[in-house]
Chain A
Amino acid sequence: MAIRVVTDQAPIQAPTVTGRRGALGSVARGLTRNRKALAGLGVFGLFVVVAILAPVIAPYDPHALQFDQMLQPSRAHLLGTTGTGQDIFSQLLFGTRESLLIALGAGLGATLVSVIIGVSAAYMGGVPDHFLNLFTDFFLVLPTLPLMIIIGTYLNNRGLVVLIGVIVITGWSYGARQLRAQALSLRNREFLEAARVRGERSLYIIVFEILPNMTSLIVAIFFGAALYAVLAAAGLQFIGLGDPNSLSWGTMLYWAQANGALLAGSPVWVLAPGLCIAALGGAFALINYAFDEIGNPALRPVRRRK
């Protein structure tokens, strides 16, 4: 699926300690200076605009069954029609909404879980850390798709909340591992020592002293998790574990496959939603990778001197 190769060397260097207010600002600066990040943000922004303006741009009601079936792309139907006579272009525009919602919702949920587990493991240390770490590694090696399929089949509720929940359960471990490594490197820094001496509570130290210094990694993990969510949701919906009546790119692919779109000579029905999934996923992957470069200057592209 995505780039999810785990090494112990990745962006595990201690971040430079920034002031509390400067944290988000430095993330923004890093993003706008990196070409890969800018390309990713551009595509992502485009999809956000499409999702918001879908009712304005879409030429037809995406659910309406009013057209001839399996029409080829034409001026009236930019991408043709489905096997039940819906306009594919309109479906694609409206489908952006649910696909984005799943990506951002599940991405946020998974990031939250990984912050809680990763940071508390590093902060507590000792036996709790050992077990939380084991727990994380277990979820990391577990083949997530079969697990998602099983939970999805049992629940038999094909709603959005279930879909997002399943993705969160299976998608937090990678981020937790990275966060733990970075939090460990911060643990013995002087400013944390100072906070402890001041007598601050653990919760205060974690939320106001540790987390702001990991902002850039947390944002990177969010985009990594969002990428995972895009691909996982597409896979689950493709095999029919989503709500078949909902409108999203994965569901469109499900119907295209169920109607044998490729064999029936309507490749656009398969190509268009898949291309959107790949574009959104690619955008998230680029942003995520740009953060690796920001956090680890050795990886930045070098220019050869002439």
Chain B
Amino acid sequence: MSYLVRRLEFFFITLWATLTMNFILPRIMPGNPAEAMLVRYHGRVSPQTIKAIEVAFGLNSNESIFQQYLEYLRNTVTGNFGTSVTFFPVPVGDVIKQGLPWTLGLVGMATIIAFALGTLLGMLSAWRRGGIFDAILPPVFIVISAFPYFWLGLLFLLAFALTLGWFPLGFAYDLTDSINLSWSFAGQVLWHGFLPALTIVITSVGGWILTMRNTMITTLAEDYVKMARAKGLSPVRIMLMYAGRNAILPNLTGFAMSLGFVISGAILVEIVFNYPGLGFTLLQAVHSEDYALMQTLFLMITLAVLLAVLAADVLTAILDPRTREQG
């Protein structure tokens, strides 16, 4: 299981590095943004909250940096992230709890759809090498994947929401309604989520198509594919079970490593569509200089990406027998 051990090592090291970077960043920045924040807090919050902010941003000079670090780690692990200025007096943890499901749902679904679709299209493109499909898809998607996510979102907004009126202008559900478990509400969520999800799928699918196509081309030249052809197996079976199956593994690793890029784009999509996820919250935090909320959001988004990477690693370990060997 040395592969999984190595990937677990990577997970914990990156987790630690993220936590530490989150601690160091506000301390090495010129000036002291947190002091300005404390002035705004003054008289509005309890002494404990003030103390928590001092700890989080290193204003309490009585303690050594090492003590501050330990206290920061303890606060983070216990979920004590301080109070949000933007949504005062709601604790940062609660603000994040509201946004998290929307982001996970939107970005998660869109990414999985894009990956599945891209892998399939890439497989077909390599299989019918030189066909019409293969001639058109790669160049088109090279160009589309260079579109700014948010700009494509704006285009869709203009075309399908403003001009045609097929979809709402934004947000995750009708604001006249409240969150509830009913079919009509689920329909609203899908209807509101369609354009943002479409934006993410279209801009990210190209990457999966191209890498899948390129690894599939390499796989198709392998001896076992020739062997399968010589045996007279059906083409579909060779494509899916021989070449495609082996080309998916590197693509899956790539999938994990690229999630950070996808979520960066998705944040901008949320902003364009006023979608109430973490990205939209991040923008609000930036505009009101809500440092506590901003830092925690960065931590949470990174944590989500790291967990997804770990999940993809585990999946690779299950799918690829070679990773179970020593070495």
B218 with A298: CB separation less than 8 A = yes
Nearest CB in chain A: distance from B33 CB, A = 6
Q: Which residues of A contact B142 (CB under 8 A)?
A: 3, 36, 282, 285-286, 289
Nearest CB in chain A: distance from B112 CB, A = 15
Nearest CB in chain A: distance from B108 CB, A = 14
Task: Kindly state the separation between the CA atoms of A2 and B203 in the bound complex, as whole angstroms.
Answer: 8
Query: Which of A143, A274, A292 is B302 in contact with, Cβ under 8 Å?
Result: A143
Which residues of A254-306 have CB atoms within 8 Å of chain B's CB atoms?
Answer: 257, 262-263, 267, 270-271, 274, 277-278, 281-282, 284-286, 289, 292, 296, 298-299, 301-304
Is B215 on the interface with A (CB-CB < 8 A)? yes
A2 with B261: CB separation less than 8 A = yes
Minimum CB distance partner of B159 in chain A: A267
Q: With a 10 A CB-CB cut-off, give which of A227, A230, A285 has the most chain B CB atoms.
A: A285
A7 with B251: CB separation less than 8 A = yes
Task: Kindly state the separation between the CA atoms of A155 and B258 in the bound complex, as whole angstroms.
Answer: 27
Minimum CB distance partner of A146 in chain B: B298
B29 with A231: CB separation less than 8 A = no
A141 with B257: CB separation less than 8 A = yes
A146 with B267: CB separation less than 8 A = yes
Is B8 on the interface with A (CB-CB < 8 A)? no
Query: Which of B14, B214, B267 is A292 in contact with, Cβ under 8 Å?
Result: B214
B151 with A150: CB separation less than 8 A = no
B154 with A140: CB separation less than 8 A = no
Query: Which of A4, A227, A238, A267 is B158 in contact with, Cβ under 8 Å?
Result: A267
Query: Which of A10, A153, A238 is B294 in contact with, Cβ under 8 Å?
Result: A153
Nearest CB in chain A: distance from B38 CB, A = 16
B208 with A9: CB separation less than 8 A = no
Stretch in contact with the other chain, from B47-55, B177-185, B282-290, B318-326? B282-290
Is B148 on the interface with A (CB-CB < 8 A)? yes
B260 with A235: CB separation less than 8 A = no
Minimum CB distance partner of B206 in chain A: A3
Q: With a 10 A CB-CB cut-off, give which of A2, A227, A238 has the most chain B CB atoms.
A: A2
B264 with A144: CB separation less than 8 A = yes
Is B85 on the interface with A (CB-CB < 8 A)? no
Q: Which residues of A contact B150 (CB under 8 A)?
A: 234-235, 238
Q: Which residues of B contact A28 (CB under 8 A)?
A: none
Query: Which of A137, A253, A303 is B10 in contact with, Cβ under 8 Å?
Result: A137
Query: Which of B146, B208, B260, B298 is A284 in contact with, Cβ under 8 Å?
Result: B146
Minimum CB distance partner of B211 in chain A: A5
B157 with A262: CB separation less than 8 A = yes
Q: With a 10 A CB-CB cut-off, give which of B17, B257, B271 has the most chain A CB atoms.
A: B257
B29 with A154: CB separation less than 8 A = yes
Task: Kindly state the separation between the CA atoms of A234 and B306 in the bound complex, as whole angstroms.
Answer: 26
Q: Which residues of B contact A257 (CB under 8 A)?
A: 154
Q: Which residues of A contact B256 (CB under 8 A)?
A: 141
Nearest CB in chain A: distance from B81 CB, A = 15
Assuming A155-B29, A278-B151, A301-B130, is B265 touching A1 (CB within 8 A)? yes
Task: Kindly state the separation between the CA atoms of A277 and B203 in the bound complex, as whole angstroms.
Answer: 14
Task: Kindly state the separation between the CA atoms of A257 and B170 in the bound complex, as whole angstroms.
Answer: 14
Minimum CB distance partner of A148 in chain B: B264
A142 with B302: CB separation less than 8 A = yes
Which residues of B118-162 have CB atoms within 8 Å of chain A's CB atoms?
Answer: 129-130, 134-135, 138-139, 142-143, 145-151, 154-155, 157-158, 162
Minimum CB distance partner of A228 in chain B: B261
Q: Which residues of B contact A3 (CB under 8 A)?
A: 142, 145, 206-207, 210-211
A1 with B250: CB separation less than 8 A = no
Task: Kindly state the separation between the CA atoms of A146 and B17 in the bound complex, as whole angstroms.
Answer: 16
Is B18 on the interface with A (CB-CB < 8 A)? yes
- Interface size, chain A (Cβ < 8 Å): 62
B: interface residue count bin: 35 or more
Assuming A2-B145, A141-B260, A289-B142, is B215 touching A7 (CB within 8 A)? yes
Q: Which residues of A contact B145 (CB under 8 A)?
A: 1-3, 285
B264 with A263: CB separation less than 8 A = no
Query: Which of B129, B130, B134, B268 is A145 in contact with, Cβ under 8 Å?
Result: B268
A141 with B286: CB separation less than 8 A = no
B268 with A147: CB separation less than 8 A = no
Q: Which residues of B contact A153 (CB under 8 A)?
A: 286, 289, 291, 294
Nearest CB in chain B: distance from A294 CB, A = 14
Query: Which of B10, B264, B295 is A143 in contact with, Cβ under 8 Å?
Result: B264
Task: Kindly state the separation between the CA atoms of A140 and B258 in the bound complex, as whole angstroms.
Answer: 8
Q: With a 10 A CB-CB cut-off, give which of A4, A9, A143, A282 has the most chain B CB atoms.
A: A143
In the complex, per-residue mask of B188-219: 1 if CB is within 8 Å of any chain A CB, else 0? 00000000000000010011101100110110
Minimum CB distance partner of A274 in chain B: B151
Task: Kindly state the separation between the CA atoms of A156 and B214 in the bound complex, as whole angstroms.
Answer: 43
Q: Which residues of A contact B264 (CB under 8 A)?
A: 1, 143-146, 235
Is A101 on the interface with B (CB-CB < 8 A)? no
- Can you give 30 contacting A-B residue pairs, CB < 8 Å? A1-B148, A1-B149, A1-B262, A3-B211, A7-B254, A143-B264, A143-B302, A144-B261, A144-B264, A149-B282, A151-B29, A154-B33, A231-B146, A234-B150, A238-B268, A239-B268, A240-B286, A240-B287, A263-B162, A270-B154, A270-B158, A271-B155, A277-B148, A282-B142, A282-B143, A284-B146, A285-B143, A289-B138, A298-B218, A302-B129
* 5 closest cross-chain pairs (CB), A and B: A145-B264, A281-B146, A274-B151, A282-B143, A5-B254
* A-B contact sample (18 more), CB < 8 A, given A2-B145, A146-B301, A278-B146: A1-B265, A3-B142, A4-B258, A6-B257, A7-B250, A143-B260, A143-B302, A144-B260, A153-B289, A155-B29, A227-B146, A239-B271, A270-B154, A270-B158, A271-B155, A274-B155, A296-B214, A301-B135
